[in-house]
């Protein structure tokens, strides 16, 4: 048994290609891959995950809660809280958005018409603008080239290095059933660990490892 885990504790226990830092609902992603290098960016999440999309029934079944668990005062709020924390941990560790929602991405652009971002699955770019000095330009339609770990955005016009790029995007799986089974299992495992205090680090990391971008040399 160990003290209750949180996203910060998890980040200190394991490390990977995509280095992250979470402040409230804001996450910083940075990578050191050399081919199609994603820009460092601030990711501002939306208002959060709605109650009705959380897999509460799956967690209750995994915890072997008795029928009627939802009628126990405070039970639903507790399970939802554990699930939100577990989803945040898995999303931070893998740069995968498990529940579809909108995000604001902001970072310093690289030169050219292509920009890679370390967030997936990236569904669409709703709006894009670039600021160079005091001038702000709407970038119009942006093409998304899907990638398992870092989608590439293709702009109609070339961006100047150092310009501040701001994107409003939709990212994430459209339904919980579309999330890869190992990641769903990792969420439930971590949620149970958060509830019981059990150390599930090694088991959950094993489930997440195939869905993380690799370091040069093949290590996750």
Q: What is the mean pLDDT of residues 136-143?
A: 94
Backbone angles phi, psi at 110, to 5 degrees: -95, 165
> Does the pLDDT of residue 37 top 80, yes or no?
no
- pLDDT tens figures, 95-116: 899 999 999 999 998 888 999 9
Average pLDDT of the chain is 82
pLDDT greater at residue 115 or residue 33: 115
- pLDDT tens figures, 112-137: 899 999 889 999 999 999 998 889 99
pLDDT greater at residue 2 or residue 48: 48
Share of the chain above pLDDT 90, in %: 60
Share of the chain above pLDDT 70, in %: 80
- Which tokens belong to 83? 């699930």
Q: Which residues pair with 100 in a beta bridge?
A: none
- pLDDT tens figures, 11-31: 333 323 333 344 444 444 343
pLDDT greater at residue 7 or residue 69: 69
């Amino acid at each position: 048994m160990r003290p209750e885990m949180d996203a910060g504790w998890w980040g200190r226990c394991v490390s990977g290609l995509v280095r992250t830092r979470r402040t409230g609902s804001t996450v910083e992603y940075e990578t050191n891959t050399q081919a199609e290098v994603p820009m460092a960016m601030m990711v501002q999440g939306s208002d959060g995950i709605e109650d009705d999309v959380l897999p509460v029934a799956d967690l209750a079944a995994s915890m072997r809660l008795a029928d009627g668990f939802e009628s126990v005062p405070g039970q639903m709020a507790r399970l939802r809280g554990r699930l939100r924390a577990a989803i945040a941990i898995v999303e931070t560790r893998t740069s995968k958005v498990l529940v579809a929602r909108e995000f604001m991405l902001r970072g310093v652009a690289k030169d050219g018409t292509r920009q890679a971002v370390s967030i997936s699955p990236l569904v669409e770019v709703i709006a894009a603008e670039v600021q160079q000095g005091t001038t702000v330009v709407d970038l119009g339609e942006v093409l998304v080239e899907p990638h398992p770990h870092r989608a590439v955005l293709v702009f109609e016009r070339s961006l100047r290095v150092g310009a501040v790029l701001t994107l409003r995007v939709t990212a994430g799986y459209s339904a919980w059933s579309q999330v890869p089974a190992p990641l769903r299992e990792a969420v439930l495992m971590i949620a149970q660990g958060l509830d019981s205090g059990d150390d599930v680090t090694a088991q959950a990391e094993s489930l997440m490892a195939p869905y993380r971008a690799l370091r040069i040399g093949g290590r996750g």
